[in-house]
Structure 1
Amino acid sequence: MRAVNGSAANRSASGLVFALLSAATFGISGPLGKSLLESGWTPGAVVGARITLAALVMAVPALWMMRGQWGRLRGAVGLMAAYGAVAIALCQFFYFNAVARMSPPVALMLEYLAPIMIVGWLWLRTRRRPGALTVAGTAVAMLGLVLVLDLLTGATVDPIGVLWGAAAAVCLAVYFVLTAKSDGVLPPFVTVAGGMVFGAATIGVLAVVGLLPVAATFGSVELMGGEVSWLVPVLGITLIAAVAAYVFGIVAGQRLGSKVASFVSLTEVLFSVVASWLMIGDVPGPVQFLGGGLIVGGVIMVRMDELRAPAEQAVPDTAPEALPAADLEVRGLGSELTTGALPIVERPA
């Protein structure tokens, strides 16, 4: 019995490490992308390069995982296409457009409002009032948004940047709905890899028809207080902040369970702040820090309401290959949200 308990403890400890690694690697995507944007890259070029390279890296192991199971792909093409187009391509495109106009951590805080958006949408659609803790968490997060945007001090707010961040949050909210329908369809890594392929195709089509400007420079960029080759942020945002981040997140979800992993994923905001400070010298002000804390706190309150849901509506947390995202927390979305609860996952970007 002691051996079993020790093994479980070791698995949980290693899962926590992988979850923190996932949050940290996802957190560097903003400052890396910002360095490219400031050197002359368009958001479309940043997203296109990131998704295309990640698709190439992930395609081979994904195909190997599906050997002898090709029939499962036929029923999942629509899911991967929608996931790739909305949750990966458009979500990242909107996020990096926001990053082009504001601090990466602030843009990320705006995107983390996705769970609150889902609460409001379902409240309007079903006319059923969410739980008290969910309502309170939503109010706290909205107050945090006011502080993040620095509205109380009369500071100038870039409305276009705010709209881009809100659009990224909408895409993340759509992602929740998509993943709620994907339980057990494909292994998570395969769905992410397929999503990358469809996401790259989406960016390519939008660029070809002229709806998405794509331009890049191939000189040096400002990073870590000096000049480095443009390849450094491109490879970093692809291999570390995409491929490695998703792999770490999938392993974390399997070892910790989706509920715990989803909580740890909220540390991405902290990692993004630290990475932005170290890499590009961009740090939110004290009021924005407080606002970010309130947003994260509000989301945690909403998450706690889901954990208090009646046992008969609770969602099992043991299937290791249920969802396509790094943190895998969207099973039973409909039943959870109608009781005022809602899942949290790390953003799929």
Structure 2
Amino acid sequence: MSTSRSTGASAATLGIWLGIVSAATSSISGPMARSLTDAGWTPAALTIARALGAGALMLVPAVVMMRGQWELARHESGRILLLGGVGVAGTSVCYYNAITLLPISVALLIQYSAPVLVLGYTSVRRRRVPHRTTLTGVALAMLGLVLVVGVGGSGDTDATGLIWAACGSVCFATYFVASEAVSPDLPAVAVTAAALLVAGVTVGAVCLTGIIEATATTRAVELASWSMSWIWPLALLVVVATVITYTASLVSVSILGARVSSFVLLSELAFAVLTAWALAGETPRWMQLVGGAVLVGGIVLVRLGDAEAQHTGLLEPDPVE
């Protein structure tokens, strides 16, 4: 029994570290994307290039690692379609539209209310009333969001940008739920490649209908006061902020479950503040910093309430807990 607990603890530690790696690499997505949108790229074009580029890079190792598991992949195809079409494509398009209208830190903070949505979904699915600590955390998180978006503040927020960020939060929550639902027996690299290719094709198909526009340019971009070729930020976006981020994230979710991994990935907020300041020259207002702290504190309480509910048997534990 002690060996089993030790193994579970080791797996949980690995899942947490992979979640942190995913958060750190994902944090450069905003500044890279902002530099490209400022140069004339549309959010849809960015999503297509990012998803198809990363999916293509991972395709050969994904096929090799499948090793006769194609029947399982067919069985999981519906979940993979949801993961790619909504979890990846929806999150990316919404986020990139949001950062064209909002500071990167604000867009991320709103999007990272997703853990509260995940917890709400799992509570409804299991027909369990959240613990009182959880409800307190949700209230704090909502207060934090109000402070972050600057209600009654200096007016540097945009209503359309807030809507895009909120939609991104819903898609991001879907990403966690769909990731947990996909069989852990499928290689993470294969699932990631499939989801990314689905995302790229989905956005491309929507663009063909004329609902959204995909435009890319070859103009030089400005990043951290440096002028450079568009290839460099796009390469970092594809390799670091997509291949590494999504692979590490999927493994983390398969180990920790949707609820826990969604809270671990909140560490991206800290990384994102640093990268947005260093690479995009964004210094958040003090009210946004306070709101961010309140938001994170609220989500920590949500996690603590979840843990207390598991301890008292009111909520089934995640796989490693």
Range into which the TM-score falls when normalised by the shorter chain: 0.7 to 0.9
For 1:157, give the aligned amino acid. T
The question of whether the paired residues in 1 share the 8 Å contact of 2:188 and 2:251 is answered with no
Matched, 1:59 2:42: no
Residue correspondence of structure 1 range 262-341 to structure 2 within 5 A: 263-311=263-311, 312=313, 313-318=315-320
TM-aligned CA distance change 1:9 to 1:149, over 3 Å = closer
Cα distance in 2 between the residues matched to 1:77 and 1:9: 31
The question of whether the paired residues in 2 share the 8 Å contact of 1:123 and 1:129 is answered with yes
For 1:282, give the aligned amino acid. E
Matched, 1:147 2:147: yes
Cα distance in 1 between the residues matched to 2:114 and 2:247: 23
For 1:27, give the aligned amino acid. S
**Unmatched segments (≥5 aa) in structure 2:** none
Query: What is the RMSD of the two structures over their aligned residues, measured on CA atoms?
Result: 3.1
TM-aligned CA distance change 1:12 to 1:178, over 3 Å = closer
TM-superposed deviation, 1:265: 2.1
TM-score (structure 1 length as normaliser): 0.80
User: What does the per-residue CA deviation read over 1:25-53, in whole Å, with 9 as the maximum and x for residues that have no partner?
Assistant: 11110111011111111111111110010
The question of whether the paired residues in 2 share the 8 Å contact of 1:42 and 1:214 is answered with yes
TM-aligned CA distance change 1:67 to 1:209, over 3 Å = same
Cα distance in 2 between the residues matched to 1:244 and 1:103: 25
Alignment match, 1:327:
none
TM-superposed deviation, 1:296: 1.6
The question of whether the paired residues in 2 share the 8 Å contact of 1:117 and 1:170 is answered with yes
Percent sequence identity is 34
TM-superposed deviation, 1:153: 2.9
Matched, 1:103 2:92: no
Cα distance in 2 between the residues matched to 1:315 and 1:299: 18
The question of whether the paired residues in 2 share the 8 Å contact of 1:20 and 1:265 is answered with yes
Alignment match, 2:26:
26
User: What does the per-residue CA deviation read over 1:286-324, in whole Å, with 9 as the maximum and x for residues that have no partner?
Assistant: 111111121122112111122122455432534xxxxxx
Moved more, 170-179 or 235-244: 170-179
TM-score (structure 2 length as normaliser): 0.87
Matched, 1:226 2:230: no
TM-aligned CA distance change 1:119 to 1:17, over 3 Å = closer
Alignment match, 2:210:
210
For 1:302, give the aligned amino acid. V
TM-aligned CA distance change 1:144 to 1:6, over 3 Å = closer
TM-aligned CA distance change 1:31 to 1:156, over 3 Å = closer
**Unmatched segments (≥5 aa) in structure 1:** 319-330, 332-349
The question of whether the paired residues in 2 share the 8 Å contact of 1:222 and 1:280 is answered with no
For 1:26, give the aligned amino acid. S
Q: Which has the higher contact order (CA 8 A, sep 6+)?
A: 2
Cα distance in 2 between the residues matched to 1:120 and 1:8: 26
Cα distance in 2 between the residues matched to 1:175 and 1:190: 16
Residue correspondence of structure 1 range 132-211 to structure 2 within 5 A: 132-153=132-153, 155-184=155-184, 186-211=186-211
